[in-house]
A and B are shown apart, each in its own frame.
Chain A
C-alpha cells in the first residue's frame, strides 16, 4: 500500500517538513530549509499484517499557486494531514478555508486528519486541545496533537491515517483498482506488470 500526502503551508512554519522527517528518518531538525515545490518521503509500515508503503508529499504554498498546480498536488491523494501550530492561533484560524479548499479539489472520500503540532511547547500554547477536538468533531476529522521534536504521536498520526484509509478500502469505499483514489494494489491482487512491488494504496495529506 502506498500513501501519499500533501503538506500545505501559508508560510506558517507549523512544522510539516519536520513531521515528515521525524516519521521517515526518525530525527528532528530544528531548522528546516523553506520547502519550495514538492518534496517526498516514503516509509513502509505494517497494518494487519499487510505491508503498506506510505508515500508522503510535502508541498508548499498551494494557496498561492495557480489553480492548475493546486489540483496537481491534490490529485490522487487518499488522505491528508491538516496541520496547525498550537502556539500560533492564526494557523488554527486558517483551518476552515483550507478544509473547504481541500474538499472542493480532492476526492470526497479523502481521509483528513487534523494535527495540532508542537505540543512540547505547552507553555506557549495558544490553542487549547479542546478547541482542536471540537473542530475535528464538527467537520468529521480525526484529531491528534503531536510533537515533531519529541516524536510524540508522530508515528500514530501517520499510521492512524493509513489505517483509516485501509479501513475504507476494506469497506469498499475506495476502489483500489482505480488509481485516481491514490491507492495502488500490489501483487496479491494481481497486476502482472507491476507484480514485484508491494501492495500499495495512496494517501495525500495536507496541512495548513
Chain B
C-alpha cells in the first residue's frame, strides 16, 4: 500500500507535469467535465508477480495479474518475462517445466522458420535481402525428436512467393524508417522477424506500421528474438483487422459514436470543427499510442495496459461493472432488468484503446475549443499531444470506461420498449438464414440510435 501512496505523490509532483502545465491552465476555459481520479498503482514488481503463481509455476491468478498490469504496468526488469504471459507465449496454466519445453521448441521453430524463408526465397528476392538479413544465429542445443517435430511444424506451411515480393520490398524500405530503431544489428533482427512473419501469415501480410510494433517487441525482448517474434505474432493476429483498410475504417467510425455517448459537448465541438473523420487520432489508434509519448517507458506502459485486456467489452471486469450498475439501478427504480441489457451493450465491441484515445482528446480539449477551425485545431493538437502525462491519460481512460458502462445500463432501460418489435424480426429470421441473422442486429443498432 505504501508503494501506491508514494506513487500517487510522485505522479502529482512529476517533473514532466510542468510540460502539460500550459494545457491544464488553458483548460480552465473549457475544462474537462470529469474529475480525474488518481487510482494508478505502482508498477508490478517481481515479488508481487511471484504471488500469482502456484508452487508448480502455473500462472493461476491470471485475473489478478492482468489487473496489476492494467493498474500500474510493469517494472522494466520484469517486462520481458511478464509479456510472455500477456501475449500468450506460454499457453495458459502450464507448469514451469512445461514452459521450459515450450521455450526450447519455440526458439528452435523460429530458427527453422527463418532458415526456411531465407533458403526458399526466390533468387532475385534473396539478393535484395542478403545485405540486410542473415539467418537466425542462435542454435539451441536440443534432442533429435524435438528437432524433427519442429522441422515438420516449420515446413508444413506452403509459401506463396508471388504475393510476398511486394510485401518484402516494402519491409526493406520501411526498416530504416522505423521509430526508435538504430543499429545495423537491430535492422537485421527487424528484417528477419518481419519477413518470417509475412511468409507465415500471407493472409495478413505486411502493413506499414507493423515495423514500429515489431520494434517495440524487439526492444523489450532485447536478446531473445524468438520471444519477440511469437509475442508480436500473437499481437498482430489478434489485432490483424486493424492493420487492414477496413479495420481502421471501422475503428474510426466507432470512435465518434463512443465520444457522443460519453461527452456530447465535445462531440458537438468536433463536428462543428468539421473534423468528422477524426484524422488527428488515426495514428494514435493505428500504432496503439506507440508514438504519442516522449519516453519509451511511457509508450510501453500504455501498450501493456491496453494489452492486459482487463477492462474492455466482454472482459470479466466490465461484465462485473455492468452487473453492479444494473443492480444499483434496479434497486433504485425497482425495474427488473434481465438479459436484454446484455444483448444491447454488445452492439459495440470496445477495446480499451478507444478510451485511452478519448481520454487524450479530453485532455487536449482546449486545443479543440480554442481554435477557430479544423486546421488550427489539428496543428494545436499535434503540438501538444506529446506533453500529456501517461498516468493522467490512463486514469481518465479508466474513469471514462466506467462512465460508459454506466451510460450503457441507463440507456438500455430507455430503449427496451423500442427494441421489442425489432427483436421479433430477429428471431423470425434466425430460423431461416444464418447470414441474415447477423445483419439484422445491425439494423437493430440503428433503430436504437434513431
Q: Using a CB–CB distance below 8 Å, which chain A residues touch chain B?
A: 2, 4, 11-13, 31-34, 36-40, 42, 55, 60-61, 64-66, 68-69, 71-73, 76, 179, 184, 193-194, 197, 202
Q: Using a CB–CB distance below 8 Å, which chain B residues touch chain A?
A: 170, 173-174, 176-179, 207-209, 211-212, 245-246, 248-249, 252, 276-277, 279-284, 286-287, 291, 372-375, 378-379, 382
Q: How far is the CA of A203 from the CA of B291 in the complex (A)?
A: 27
Q: Which residue of B lies closest to A64 (CB)?
A: B245
- Beyond A2-B375, A55-B375, A60-B208, is A31–B177 a contact (Cβ under 8 Å)? yes
Known: A36-B291, A71-B277, A72-B276. 11 other contacts (CB 8 A): A2-B375, A33-B177, A34-B208, A34-B211, A36-B208, A36-B286, A37-B279, A39-B382, A40-B375, A184-B373, A202-B375
Q: Which residue of A lies closest to B206 (CB)?
A: A11
Q: CB distance B177 to A13 under 8 Å?
A: yes
Q: How far is the CA of A36 from the CA of B289 in the complex (A)?
A: 11
Q: CB distance B179 to A37 under 8 Å?
A: no
Contact of B287 among A36, A39, A64, A69 (CB under 8 A): A36
Contact of B372 among A31, A40, A66, A194 (CB under 8 A): A194
Q: Which residue of B lies closest to A17 (CB)?
A: B177
Residues on B with beta carbons closer than 8 Å to the beta carbon of A12: 173
Main secondary structure on chain A at its contact with chain B?
Answer: loop
Q: CB distance A34 to B178 under 8 Å?
A: yes
> Could you give 21 example pairs across A and B, Cβ below 8 Å?
A11-B170, A11-B173, A11-B208, A13-B173, A33-B177, A34-B177, A34-B208, A34-B212, A36-B208, A36-B212, A37-B279, A37-B282, A37-B284, A42-B379, A68-B277, A71-B277, A72-B277, A73-B279, A179-B373, A184-B373, A197-B372
B280 CB, min distance to chain A CBs, angstroms: 7
Q: CB distance A34 to B245 under 8 Å?
A: no
Residues on A with beta carbons closer than 8 Å to the beta carbon of B246: 66
Residues on B with beta carbons closer than 8 Å to the beta carbon of A61: 208
Contact of B248 among A38, A65, A72, A184 (CB under 8 A): A65
Contact of B279 among A32, A72, A193, A197 (CB under 8 A): A72
Contact of A32 among B177, B252, B373 (CB under 8 A): B177
Q: CB distance A55 to B282 under 8 Å?
A: no
Q: How far is the CA of A4 from the CA of B376 in the complex (A)?
A: 11
- Beyond A31-B177, A33-B179, is A38–B249 a contact (Cβ under 8 Å)? no
Residues on A with beta carbons closer than 8 Å to the beta carbon of B249: 65-66, 68-69
- Beyond A36-B283, A39-B382, A55-B379, is A69–B291 a contact (Cβ under 8 Å)? no
Q: How far is the CA of A159 from the CA of B284 in the complex (A)?
A: 32
Q: How far is the CA of A11 from the CA of B174 in the complex (A)?
A: 8
